């Protein structure tokens, strides 16, 4: 069966520090992968999506970047975090019945 792993679950980082969040998928190949941010516990904002290795589409210009170094790995990064980067980050892949989400990472920038 297909599973999606996302880590870490929580992260507290100082302003100006770098960020790396990782997402991996098991049990499928060449998945469409997505990074979302959920601010204030409500609406979902699509940040990046990838349809294949090295292929990244950005939906919102901002302080973040994404990479897909392997077929089932999707990484969200930042060189210097801002306070406004705080939020709940969700990775997802597109399966047969729609999206399957990871368990999320709660990022607090202090």
Instruction: Label residues 50-71 b or e (16+ Cβ within 10 Å = b).
Output: beeeeebeeeeeeebebbbeee
- Chain centroid to Cα 35, Å, comes to 4
Residues sharing a CB contact under 8 Å with residue 13, sequence separation 6 or more, in sequence order: 19, 81, 107, 108, 109, 110
From 11-19, 69-77, 78-86, 102-110, span contacting another protein (CB under 8 A): 102-110
76 binds another protein (CB under 8 A): no
53 binds another protein (CB under 8 A): no
Could you tell me the end-to-end alpha-carbon distance of the chain, in angstroms, rounded to an integer?
38
From 11-19, 62-70, 73-81, 84-92, span contacting another protein (CB under 8 A): 84-92
7 binds another protein (CB under 8 A): no
Q: Least distance (Å) from another protein to the CB of residue 44?
A: 5
- Contacts to another protein by CB under 8 A: 6, 32, 41-44, 46, 49, 51, 57, 88, 90, 92, 94, 97-104, 106
């Amino acid at each position: 069966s297909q599973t999606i792993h996302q880590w870490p679950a929580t992260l507290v980082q100082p302003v100006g520090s770098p960020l790396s969040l990782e997402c991996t998928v098991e049990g499928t190949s060449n998945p469409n992968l997505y990074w979302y941010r959920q601010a204030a516990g409500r609406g979902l904002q699509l940040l990046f999506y990838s349809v294949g290795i090295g292929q990244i589409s950005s939906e919102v210009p901002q302080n973040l970047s994404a990479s897909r170094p392997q077929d089932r790995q999707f990484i969200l990064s930042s060189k210097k975090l801002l306070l406004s980067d705080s939020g709940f980050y969700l990775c997802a892949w597109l399966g047969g019945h729609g999206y399957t989400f990871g368990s999320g990472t709660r990022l607090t920038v202090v």
